Structure 1
Amino acid sequence: MTLPRDYQGQSCALSRAMEVIGERWTLLIVRDAFFGVRRFGDFVRHLGVPRAVLTDRLAGLTAAGVLARVPDGGKREVYVLTGKGVGLWPAVRALTQWGDEHHPVPGGPRRSFRHADDDAYVGPDGRCTGCGAPVDAADLLVVPGPGLPPPSPDDDPITAALRRPQRLLRPLPLTKGPSA
């Protein structure tokens, strides 16, 4: 039985937000968009999400104005976060921190965040531990954390690319495999 997408009888801000980002896979798609994933096939490969589900979630995020489809310079279009989508960063960051704190993986976090200006870690409050400034998503580097497993021949191109520091919101430089 498919659950409805809305929360009938609920009119609070949280229920309205959940109608946009509360379905399974949606926040992981948004997280990957922050990491620089832009192409449909790359989302499929990295997340392992069924294509029909991804199509539905991308359509919903686009209709809600969280993502936009833009030309990639060729015949294809790619997905990018809009200003509305970038506004989700504090929630994505907070949920990531909550997961690391309450459901940790052996060895520590798989990924950490550093301030691009001074390479200092960014704390759970979103402030740079070096300069003390609040750090916007566009000024963050995602870097491998101590809990990231060693490279594997089975790594998809996104996982392989995220083994190097990557500035959020910039296209992820992919080195192997075509993207659909």
Structure 2
Amino acid sequence: MTLQTEIALPSENWKSRLKVGDVVAFRFPHEKAGENVPKVRPSLVIDVEDMAGERFAVLAYGTTNPCPRKQAYCVDVRSAKERAPASLRSPTRFNAARRILVSVHNSGFDTNAQGTPVLGQLADAALDRLHRVRARIHAERDIRRSSLFGRRGTGRKPRPVTVETRRKGRPDTREVRYV
């Protein structure tokens, strides 16, 4: 009698093990619509989120062309010491101002012979820079949300709202609340 154990292959695992700081091979869409098919390029995982039972990744665009725009959102991986764990051949800039939210089941991920699109991960100063960029993105998101939904203490006047309770379909009590 033989005992068979099921070993999880990387092709099955990478979707659940994907984490912030991973560098993946992804067919990043072009900024402008055109006939050219997106090419596979290194992309940086900025965030991993679970929504409605499905896993999503926020990916930042990777390029070897160090464009000067929006440097506050850029994570540079320049030195050979930083490039080695990320599996990058040349100095690369990940531009988090150009990011995309995709499902981990997206066909844009380019898997290697081991069945995973994960090339490597950031380390040292590049990882620290990524955390600063993420903090900036999250802070800006929170600021936008607070301005959309309002917050007490922001100088806005509370609005009166009438709350009515009913019993057996007839009005029972009426109360004015300020929100």
Scaled by the length of structure 1, the TM-score of the pair is 0.22
Bigger strand fraction: 2
Scaled by the length of structure 2, the TM-score of the pair is 0.22
